[in-house]
Amino acid sequence: MRTVTEEQVVARLASLPGPQPRVVVSGNFATPMVLLRALDAALESVRTFSLNAQLGWPRRTGFVNETPFVGPGVRHDPALEYLPMRLSLVPRLFDTLRPVDAVLIHTSEPRGGKVSLGIEVNLLPAAIERARARGGLVVAQVNPNMPYTFGDGEIAVDQIDLALEVDEPLQTHTGRPATEAEQMIGQQVAAFGGDGATLQLGIGQIPDVAAAALIDRQHLGIWSEMISDAVLTIERAGALDADRPISASFLFGSPELYVWADRNPRLRMNRTEVANDPLRIAAQPAMLSINTAMQVDLFAQANASFIRDSIYSGFGGQPDFVTGALHSTGGHALVALHSWHDKSDSSAVLPILTNPVTSFQHTAIVSDQGCAELFGRSEHEQVRSIIEHVADPRAHDALLEGAGSLGLLPARD
């Protein structure tokens, strides 16, 4: 690993092979913005591959963004190439259809001959391995503010070609107080988690409420794609099993979360192929997978990816965790959502989705109206339960009519 200037990084990136080289870049709140700007300056035409690109991501002709999970930085970009696929399978692309020419990462300072990818591991170990196997370039933005986390994100310094030292704070997320509806949803979600359960907790008010409602449980575990400050709530209450590692693939939260993660021996940061592997998820005891959606329908299908006809995010880890949780002994896969969209003044429950489905066949669907338990119920029972316990009352008549038109309820209904 050779420490260089920003000008030297630009010059080296400008020499990448081919008319449009592919560069994998750390995403989420670990985006190496200085390196990204250097890439933008170095190449007129380039393809970037990243997860959940944040605001400030370059958007111009010739700068093509590829991603299986769309972030605010590239949302509505007409040049975006969205890849609809499970995250657990994405690293296979680097061996086949989308070979890697370079990787730009955001790391901690070196310790014992290694740096750490810190708060974002995800696809990066696979990308680094494939790039080096092809003789590609690996460049690190080395930041003293990046926590050193253990696991698959520890990278030997001799696997990195160039290092640019940048001392800048990491991006953070500060949550807002939960609404009354979110309190109701989170409390119902928590009812599915008993002593010894393994939790997948994402970001947002609903997971935060659920976490707060689980603090009286014992021997809980964490196996999650992402962890946020909700984990701190459970940890401080003493509800986590001290003998079980806390597993995640990336962190998304407050400075306090990053301080907690730094050199925390209980936190294990896993690569995507491990964190999102349905077989490994299924091996966790009483796996409770909590996912949110924007819409559900009477077939119990969920849409968490599209708003109207435009891609908003992507599958993410939802299909992987839903599958894994349903095969876990004592496991549950939940989808949580608001029953009504105030901005559009419309129901979140539809007779049938017209947008692509993100996931389906959950244990239950939870909203501010109640909980519809689905597993093992007949189609007619599912439809009735979704209408009665998930949908806003304002939508009941239209949903009953839609269910009749679709043949989902007996003719007498």
- Give the pLDDT of residue 377: 94
Name the 3-class secondary structure at 397.
Answer: helix
Backbone angles phi, psi at 393, to 5 degrees: -55, -30
Does residue 70 contact residue 311 with C-beta atoms inside 8 Å? yes
What does each C-alpha distance from 126 to 130, 177, 184, 200, 319 come to in angstroms? 6, 37, 40, 23, 21
Name the 3-class secondary structure at 200.
Answer: strand
Question: Among candidates 399, 295, 291, which has minimal Cα distance to 357?
Answer: 295
What is the rounded CA–CA span in Å between residue 159 and residue 128? 8
Question: Among candidates 8, 4, 54, 17, which has minimal Cα distance to 32?
Answer: 54
What is the rounded CA–CA span in Å between residue 250 and residue 255? 14
- Give the pLDDT of residue 413: 44
What is the rounded CA–CA span in Å between residue 56 and residue 391? 38
Strand positions, DSSP E, 61-153: 63-67, 81-82, 102-107, 114-116, 137-142, 150-151
Name the 3-class secondary structure at 231.
Answer: helix
Q: At 133, which amino acid appears?
A: A
Question: Among candidates 346, 286, 292, which has minimal Cα distance to 317?
Answer: 292
Residue 359: strand pairing partners:
302
Does residue 35 contact residue 196 with C-beta atoms inside 8 Å? no
Give helix then strand counts, H and E, for the chain. Answer: 12, 29
Question: Among candidates 334, 308, 307, which has minimal Cα distance to 321?
Answer: 334
Does residue 16 contact residue 101 with C-beta atoms inside 8 Å? yes
Name the 3-class secondary structure at 169.
Answer: coil
Does residue 120 contact residue 27 with C-beta atoms inside 8 Å? yes
What does each C-alpha distance from 182 to 35, 284, 293, 318 come to in angstroms? 39, 27, 13, 20
Residue 122: strand pairing partners:
271
The 10 Å Cβ neighbour count of residue 366 is: 29
- Give the pLDDT of residue 135: 96
- Give the pLDDT of residue 411: 57
* Each residue's pLDDT expressed in tens, for the chain with a length of 413 residues: 999 999 999 999 999 999 999 999 999 999 999 999 999 999 999 999 999 999 999 999 999 999 999 999 999 998 899 999 999 999 999 999 999 999 999 999 999 999 999 999 999 999 999 999 999 999 999 999 999 999 999 999 999 999 999 999 999 988 788 899 999 999 999 999 999 999 998 778 888 899 999 999 999 999 999 999 999 999 999 999 999 999 999 999 999 999 999 999 999 999 999 999 999 999 999 999 999 999 999 999 999 999 888 899 998 899 999 999 999 999 999 999 999 999 999 999 999 999 889 888 899 999 999 999 999 999 999 999 999 999 999 999 999 999 999 999 875 54
What is the rounded CA–CA span in Å between residue 288 and residue 25? 31
Does residue 95 contact residue 14 with C-beta atoms inside 8 Å? no
- Give the pLDDT of residue 409: 87
Q: Tell me the domains of the chain and their CATH numbers.
A: 2-165 (3.40.1080.10), 180-405 (3.40.1080.20)
Question: Checking DSSP bridges between strand 226-227 and strand 137-142, what pairing results, if any?
Answer: unpaired
